[in-house]
Amino acid sequence: MTALDASTATAVPRRKLQMPGSTATVYLALGLTLVVGSLLVAERGGTLLDQPGITKILTLCTALGLVAIGQTIAIVAGSLDLSVAHLIGLTSLVTAEVMAGQNGRIVLAVAAALGVAALVGAVNGLVVTKLKVNPFIATLGMALVLQGVLEHRYTGPAGETTRDFQRLGYDRVGPVPVSFLVMLGVAALAWWLLARTRTGHHIYAVGGDAEIARVSGVRVSRTVITAHVLCALAAGATGIFLASRLGAGAPYVGTDASYDLQSIAAVVLGGALLAGGRGGVIGTIGGVMLLACLDTTFDDLGVDPFLKDVVRGSVIIVAVALYARRKPGGRT
């Protein structure tokens, strides 16, 4: 869970606390990966965590991190969003096309992209709550709708982002990309939202048990819709970032990296329950960084790119199997 839980864990000596929580586990795994990765890379005469290495890891983290933050909110609310990958492609195009290479249109472009994202999120939320469509199907349907739009309107990259705007994607402070810091800022905001606001508390409550939330006076539909809008906004931010990296919008930039399933994987890796009610941004960021470190290590080792998928898949399964083991009082 998030720091929310960490604070309670220190306040309350719980009996089952000998085992590290799932958030701690993912950061332990991250540390271990960095140590082992550094050693392996060093053995081959390289350095994993030199300046380009760090920059690479953190850049990888940025895009997946942004979308995974949103996915965390959706999953904690007991939903999920399979339309983020297509939405990322669409918002990258909206950004680049609205900007059309003019610095004066940067704000407009960003606003337009976020506006489109919010709209998509709102529709997802409305379909899930008002039409009572299972979120899996609802957001899959949205993914198809967006795919149709992308296929209909675009054949390849389109639009243009300005040089100045591209600095967002490439500038860095030391080895740390500015965009990564922006992503951390978004993460902090999302953490604050979940842990410290009424909306956040209601998101956990609705994800934990919608009926209990309802009888306690929580407006369930509104909460779920909010979660979907926030999730879509995060995907929109990812699209904007990728437009700045690429200098243009690209219809399949989201789906090629399968950000839909990858973001869900990162969230679950971070210790969230897929069923909702439990999870947090801090764990998710750990999951994202773990995946990025694995990727970079393998690249540095010159491992076949396809092996990365294999390892990634195995890591996800093993991690969740470990979390399942320590589920307190879990029924068999």
Partner 1 sequence: MKRLAPGTLPVFAVLAILLVALAFAGPAYEHPQGYIALLKRAAPLMILALGQYFVIVTGGFDLSVGSLVTAEVVIAARLLDGNEDRTWPVLLLLIGFGALVGLVNGLISTVLEVPSFITTLGMLLILEGAVFLWTDGAPRGALTESFRQWGRMGFEDVPWIGQLPYSVLILLALGTAAALFMRTGMGRLVLAVGDNDTSVRLAGGRVRTIRTLAFVVSGISAAVAAILLGGFSGVSAQVGGGLEFEAITAVVLGGVALGGGRGSVVAAMAGALTLKALFSLLNLLGISGALESTVQGVIIVAAVAYAAADTGWRDRVLRSKARSTAQPGPPAPDVVTTS
Partner 2 sequence: MTVVTLSKRRSGEDPGTPVVRLTGIRKSFQGNEVVHGVDLELQPGEVHALVGENGAGKSTLMKCLAGIHAPDQGTIEIDGVVRRFRSPREAQEAGVAIVHQEFTLLPHRTVAENLFLGREPGRFGRVDKAGMERRAGEVLADLGVTSIRPSAVVSGLSVAQQQIVEIAKALVLDARVLAMDEPTAALADAEVALLYDLVRRLTGRGLAVLYVSHRLPEVFDLSSRITVMKDGAHVATEPTGELTTDNVVRLMVGRPLNALFPDLAAAEELGKERIAVAGGGNARIHDIDLTIRAGEVVGLAGLQGSGRSALARALCGVAPFTRGSYQVEGRPARIRSPRRAVRAGIAFVTEDRKGEGLALRQTVQDNVLLVRRSVSGRRTRSTVADLLREMTVVAASPASEVRLLSGGNQQKVVLAKWLAVGPTVLVVDEPTRGIDIGAKATIYQLIRDLARSGVAVLLISSELPELIGMSDRLLVMHRGRIAGELPPQSSEEDVMRLATGHGQPGENGQSEEAES
- Cβ of residue 125: shortest distance to partner 2, in angstroms? 18
d(CA 285, CA 61): 8
Q: Binding string to partner 1 for residues 237 to 266, with x set by CB under 8 A, is what?
A: ------------------------x--xx-
Single residue of 57, 127, 281, 285 touching partner 1 by CB under 8 A: 127
For the four alpha carbons of 5, 9, 12 and 18, in that order, the dihedral sign comes to positive
- x/- letters, 205..244, toward partner 1 (CB under 8 A): ----------------------------------------
Of partner 1, partner 2, none, which one does residue 152 interact with (CB within 5 to 8 Å by kind)?
partner 1
Cα dihedral 189, 19, 265, 315 sign? positive
Taking the complex as a whole, the smallest distance from the CB of residue 188 to partner 2 amounts, in Å, to: 15
Q: Which is nearer to partner 2, 202 or 245 (CB)?
A: 202
User: Mapping DSSP to helix (H, G, I), strand (E, B) and coil, where does residue 276 land?
Assistant: coil
Residue 141 contact, options partner 1, partner 2, none, Cβ 5-8 Å cut-off depending on partner type: partner 1
27: phi then psi, degrees, rounded to nearest 5: -75, -35
* Burial tier of 40 (Cβ tally within 10 Å: 0-12, 13-18, 19+): middle
CB of 319 to partner 1, least distance (A): 9
Which CB, 5 or 295, lies closer to partner 2?
5
Place of tokens 């007991």: 78
Shortest Å, Cβ 98 to partner 2 = 31
Non-local CB neighbours of 301 within 8 Å, separated by 6+ positions: 40, 41, 44
**In this complex, which beta carbon is closest to partner 2, that of residue 11 or of residue 173?**
11
One-letter amino acid identity for 165? F
* Collapsed DSSP state (helix, strand, coil) of residue 19: coil
Q: How far is the CB of 121 from partner 2 (least distance, A)?
A: 19
- Start-to-end Cα distance in the chain: 23
Question: 254 with 147: CB under 8 angstroms?
Answer: no
Helix or strand holding residue 41 (H, E): helix 22-43
**By CB under 8 A, residue 149 contacts partner 1:** yes
Binding site for partner 1 (CB under 8 A): 82, 127, 131-134, 136-138, 140-149, 151-152, 261, 264-265, 268, 274-275, 304, 306-314, 316-317, 320-321, 324-325, 327, 330-331
